[in-house]
Amino acid sequence: MIVLALDIGSSSVKAAILRGGGGGGDRVAGRIARESFDTQYDGVRAEVVPDAILRAVARAIAQLGKAAKSVDVIALSNMAPSWVAMDKRGRAITPIVTHQDRRSVDVARAIEKEVGKQRHLQLAGTRPFPGGISSTTWAWFNRHAPGVMRRADLVGHVNTFLHRTLTAARVTDPSNASFMGLYNVLKLDGWNERLMAIVGASEHQLPQLISADGVGGLVTRPAGRRFGLTHGTPVLVGMIDAGGAMLLAGARGGQLVNSAGSTDVLAVCTENKPTPHERLLTRALGVDHKWLQVSTLAAGGSAINWLREQLFRDLKHAAFRALLQKLAKTPLKSTVSFDPYLAGDRMSIEQRSAAFSGLTLATTRDHMLSAAIEAIAAASAARVELLRSTGVRLRRDVVVTGGAIDGLRKVLYRDWPGDAWRFRVEEEASLRGLALLVG
Q: 26: pLDDT confidence band, cut at 50, 70 and 90?
A: low
Read off the pLDDT of residues 129-158 as tens digits, 9 standing for 90 and up: 998 899 999 999 999 999 999 999 999 999
Q: 21: pLDDT confidence band, cut at 50, 70 and 90?
A: low
Helix segments in 241-364, DSSP class H: 241-249, 301-311, 317-329
**Rounded CA gap, 48 and 214, in Å?**
28
Residue 23 has pLDDT above 70, yes or no: no
Q: In what order do the strands lie in the sheet with 281-284?
A: 281-284, 291-297, 264-270, 256-260, 397-401, 422-425
Q: Is residue 408 part of a domain?
A: no
Q: Would you state the pLDDT for residue 263?
A: 81
Query: Which CATH number characterizes residue 46's domain?
Result: 3.30.420.40
Q: Is residue 278 part of a domain?
A: no
Mean pLDDT for 316-337 is 95
**Rounded CA gap, 71 and 435, in Å?**
12
Q: Would you state the pLDDT for residue 25?
A: 52
Is 349 within 8 Å of 129 (Cβ atoms)?
yes
Read off the pLDDT of residues 381-403 as tens digits, 9 standing for 90 and up: 999 999 999 999 999 999 999 87
Q: Is residue 263 part of a domain?
A: no
* Sequence-distant (≥ 6) Cβ neighbours of residue 434 within 8 angstroms: 3, 5, 7, 18, 75, 76, 77, 236, 238, 244, 247
Is 430 within 8 Å of 406 (Cβ atoms)?
no
Residue 24 has pLDDT above 80, yes or no: no
Q: Is residue 128 part of a domain?
A: yes
* Domain that includes residue 122, residue range: 2-243
Please report how many Cα atoms fall inside a 13 Å half-sphere around the Cα of residue 152, on the Cβ side: 27
Is 243 within 8 Å of 175 (Cβ atoms)?
yes
Chain centroid offset of residue 142 CA: 24
- DSSP letter assigned to residue 38: P
Q: Is residue 333 part of a domain?
A: no
Q: How far is CA 392 from CA 109, 222, 251, 273, 276, in A?
A: 30, 47, 14, 10, 12
Q: Return the percentage of the chain with pLDDT > 90, whole number.
A: 84
SS3 for 360-421 is CCCCCHHHHHHHHHHHHHHHHHHHHHHHHCCCCCCCCEEEEECCCHHHHHHHHCCCCCCCCC
Supply the mean pLDDT for the chain. 94
Read off the pLDDT of residues 262-294 as tens digits, 9 standing for 90 and up: 788 999 999 999 999 999 999 999 999 999 999
Closest CA to 53 of 86, 93, 12, 85: 12
Q: Is residue 264 part of a domain?
A: no
Q: Return the percentage of the chain with pLDDT > 70, whole number.
A: 97
Alpha-carbon dihedral 409, 34, 15, 188, rounded to 10 degrees = 50
Q: Is residue 367 part of a domain?
A: no
The answer to whether the predicted template modeling score (pTM) of the entire model surpasses 0.85 is yes
Can you tell me whether residue 40 is helix, strand or coil? strand
| Tally of domains in the chain | 1
Bridge partners (DSSP) listed for residue 265: 259, 296
* Sequence-distant (≥ 6) Cβ neighbours of residue 24 within 8 angstroms: none
Single-letter code of the amino acid located at 169: A
Read off the pLDDT of residues 341-368 as tens digits, 9 standing for 90 and up: 988 787 888 888 899 999 999 999 999 9
Q: Is residue 215 part of a domain?
A: yes
